[in-house]
Structure 1
Amino acid sequence: MPRVLTDERRDLVAAIEDFCRRECGSKEVRDKLTSSGQHPHSQEIYAKMADLGWLGIAIGEEYGGAGLGMTDLCLFLEETAYWQAPIGGFATTIISAAAYEKFATEEQKRTVLEGVVAGRVEAISMSEPEAGSDVGGLTCRAERRDGGYVINGQKTWCSNAHIADHILLVARTSSGGSKHHGLTQFMVPTTTDGLEIRGIDTMGGREVNDLYFTDCFVPESAVVGTEGEGWKQLMSGLNLERMILAALMLGTARRAFDDTVGYVQQREQFGQPIGSFQAIKHRIADMATELECARLLLDDVAAAIDAKPDAIFAREASMAKLKCTELAKHVTLEGMQMLGGYGYATEYGMEALLRSTVVSTVYGGTSEIQRDIIGKTYGL
């Protein structure tokens, strides 16, 4: 089913396609930009997108952005993922930017949001070695001292910290009450004394990091929002995070599907294209149907969020994240199977798509957590 878009959105999609074809349209060019996928963020491409105004698509106009909504943001994410644009720093940047836009002081907003529009990367840090899905269990502490806060503790799985200007840190400032009380968000420049950023080797390349805070001092002005209200602030951004991940994985799934279809149309065995065999044809049909369902779900939830920007669509956003990430993993695995040995070869690129999707059902809230959230919305 053709997507019904406004003229402005159709032009945006066409412009992204044209840009990506020219700037990163081949595997050879992308390999050069990313050291063969080891560094999935190319500042060169990122800066060019900043010049086009795309990085500020969801940033308020008063900070130099376009001030557009969830639908436009999802279109940008989906299309750049489809074309495999090496802008791995954008997702954490826009998640962080949304928190600053809602809760930060005017000075913090100017620093971060105008930087985002200009092509700077931002990161957010919640997870710890003993606090992953259970964010409320974090123990990294920020204690009041000398007119500011001294931070001690370890964070882990912090995406893009090594290329970011600031870390939006979630730390514990008090231990009274429930585990979700006493959490506070801080704006911590990555150059701050006492902060060590150490990369974690992964199958996706240089993406995530351990953070070590040792008597790391930040001034009182580093608090983002209200002290002790960090959990509520985090919860207000769940729509955005889940939709970002859903859109990225829908674009990746579409790419894997199109590459698979192109291959089975050309590859011949037993005297005919393998796509003509019923076993392949039916799998393609099933994937195409599931992709269409995922797209309709994502579009519908994005439109609902645009209609009520302040509402929390816990069920719907979790459904979108669950559906799109699980589908992306399924489509790339199917693509690898249908490409046979070529699916395993780096030359064809399917293995890279698979590597980028398998972790998507873990980060940003695992599929199990998404199912739990959805179940709770039904009183279960």
Structure 2
Amino acid sequence: MSIDISDEQRAFTAAVDDFCRREAGTREQRGDSPHHAGLYQKMADLGWLGVTVPEEYGGSGAGMVDTCLFLERVGYGQAPIGGFTTSAIVAAAIQRSGSEEQKKTVLGGLVDGRVHAIAMSEPEAGSDVANLSCRAVRTGDGWVINGQKTWCSNAHIADTILLVARTSGSAGDHAGLTMLLVPADRPGLRISGIETMGGKEVNDLYFTDVRVPADAVVGTVDQGWQQLMAGLNVERLILAALMLGTAQRAFDDALGFIRERRQFGRPVGTFQALRHRIADLATEIECVRLLVHRVATLTDRDPGKVLPRESSMVKLKATEVAREVALAGMQMMGGYGYATEYDMERHVRTTLVSTIYGGTSEIQRDIIGKTYGL
């Protein structure tokens, strides 16, 4: 690692590395699913899933720098704990805006090894979140929810879903959105998996007269958009740190291969074309590492400050570089990079979608441009 970290942080990352080598070092150990419940629970038992959670709810109370170090090593170690990313994003939202009871349920649940999901996208509202139409209507003793959500990661393994629904106004308005906590087993909620090249990790959600109590509201009614915007730093850092680790792993796998693979009487890595490509990729990864650490440090320095430019930059750069590294690794490995015998094809599948979820690269560029008054 090229960034300055404490001895305690160094010991923590070394422990995560050791765990990943022992528990997720082979394809057989990892399995085919993006989320391995057994490994996830083992990490919970070690106290690692609570890295983002305050001590009063059972966590370690660490900041975003520690969280990013954890996620980088998890990504590098290919530990299949896909449920952590959405759970950490939901936990951060509850920590900022939730009631005391919600904090005990969600934050404490994350520490114990439970999974949470967040539902925003709809068939007609992806990047345009303001256009969502899934509606929650107030009743005498709570809310009734009707509508559809799509691309909801980990809903099929979640205990709780943080739903962003319209409670007033009409499609196209940022005002009138509200966040509600919905138990995944609530009557009237149907969860249907979507087949993707990455397996079953995203879902369609269908709400038909789903009833939740009044205290399901997170924060303030009709203020969901403002509450979501307050969490940009955390969400985008989580995704960026995970892709940083994945990019480094893809790089190291490719480097190891081209050092050993011989053609025309010598290792292919000694040819200038590949040597220069390795140099460029290594430089890009180093830039991502520094950017992740910088934005995490700024977030820890002032957790309440939204960093729209920096958070979009880190998400954009990390995911674009991860995709570039994985595709270059496949190209350098030739047919072996395409074979399931090696992990490179998995790196490609993992990184391709990273430039889409959590706000596409195009949306990140648009946000960055707007911060310059354009």
Counterparts of 1:110-259 in structure 2 under 5 Å?
110-175=104-169, 179-259=173-253
Shift of 1:177: 10
Structure 2 partner of 1:284: 278
Matched residues, number: 374
Structure 2 partner of 1:74: 68
Shift of 1:3: 2.8
Once residues 184 and 313 of structure 1 are traced to their aligned partners in structure 2, the CA distance between those partners, rounded to angstroms, is: 22
Shift of 1:146: 3.1
Structure 1 partner of 2:13: 13
Shift of 1:120: 0.3
Once residues 344 and 176 of structure 1 are traced to their aligned partners in structure 2, the CA distance between those partners, rounded to angstroms, is: 47
Once residues 307 and 105 of structure 1 are traced to their aligned partners in structure 2, the CA distance between those partners, rounded to angstroms, is: 24
Q: 2:97 aligns with which of 103, 107, 121?
A: 103
Change (3 A) 1:268 1:151: same
Q: Which amino acid aligns with 2:2?
A: P
Deviations 1:64-102 (A, max 9, x none): 001110100000001000000010000000000011111
Shift of 1:111: 1.2
Does structure 1 conserve the Cα–Cα contact (< 8 Å) formed by 2:136 and 2:143? yes
Structure 2 partner of 1:314: 308
Shift of 1:206: 1.2
1:377 aligns with 2:363: no
Q: What is the SS of the residue equivalent to 1:98?
A: helix
Q: Which amino acid aligns with 1:203?
A: M
Shift of 1:337: 0.3
Structure 1 partner of 2:81: 87
Shift of 1:105: 1.1
Once residues 318 and 233 of structure 1 are traced to their aligned partners in structure 2, the CA distance between those partners, rounded to angstroms, is: 17
Q: What is the SS of the residue equivalent to 1:207?
A: strand
TM-score by structure 1 length?
A: 0.97
Deviations 1:231-257 (A, max 9, x none): 001000111111111001110000000
Does structure 1 conserve the Cα–Cα contact (< 8 Å) formed by 2:133 and 2:171? no
Structure 2 partner of 1:34: none
Once residues 137 and 315 of structure 2 are traced to their aligned partners in structure 1, the CA distance between those partners, rounded to angstroms, is: 35
1:43 aligns with 2:37: yes
Q: Which amino acid aligns with 1:326?
A: E
Q: Which amino acid aligns with 2:274?
A: I
Shift of 1:169: 0.2
Change (3 A) 1:177 1:209: closer
- Structure 2: gaps of 5 or more residues: none
Change (3 A) 1:178 1:329: closer
Structure 2 partner of 1:261: 255
Structure 1 partner of 2:266: 272
Shift of 1:229: 0.4
Q: What is the SS of the residue equivalent to 2:200?
A: coil
Structure 2 partner of 1:355: 349
RMSD: 1.0
Runs (4+) off by over 3 Å: none
Q: What is the SS of the residue equivalent to 1:213?
A: strand
Q: Which amino acid aligns with 1:272?
A: R
Structure 2 partner of 1:24: 24
Shift of 1:283: 0.3
Once residues 150 and 301 of structure 1 are traced to their aligned partners in structure 2, the CA distance between those partners, rounded to angstroms, is: 39
Once residues 162 and 177 of structure 1 are traced to their aligned partners in structure 2, the CA distance between those partners, rounded to angstroms, is: 27
Does structure 1 conserve the Cα–Cα contact (< 8 Å) formed by 2:133 and 2:170? no
Q: Which amino acid aligns with 2:351?
A: T
Q: What is the SS of the residue equivalent to 1:201?
A: strand
Q: Which amino acid aligns with 2:102?
A: Q
Counterparts of 1:288-303 in structure 2 under 5 Å?
288-303=282-297
Once residues 294 and 221 of structure 1 are traced to their aligned partners in structure 2, the CA distance between those partners, rounded to angstroms, is: 41
Q: Which amino acid aligns with 1:2?
A: S
Q: What is the SS of the residue equivalent to 2:228?
A: helix
Q: What is the SS of the residue equivalent to 1:85?
A: coil
Once residues 264 and 17 of structure 2 are traced to their aligned partners in structure 1, the CA distance between those partners, rounded to angstroms, is: 37
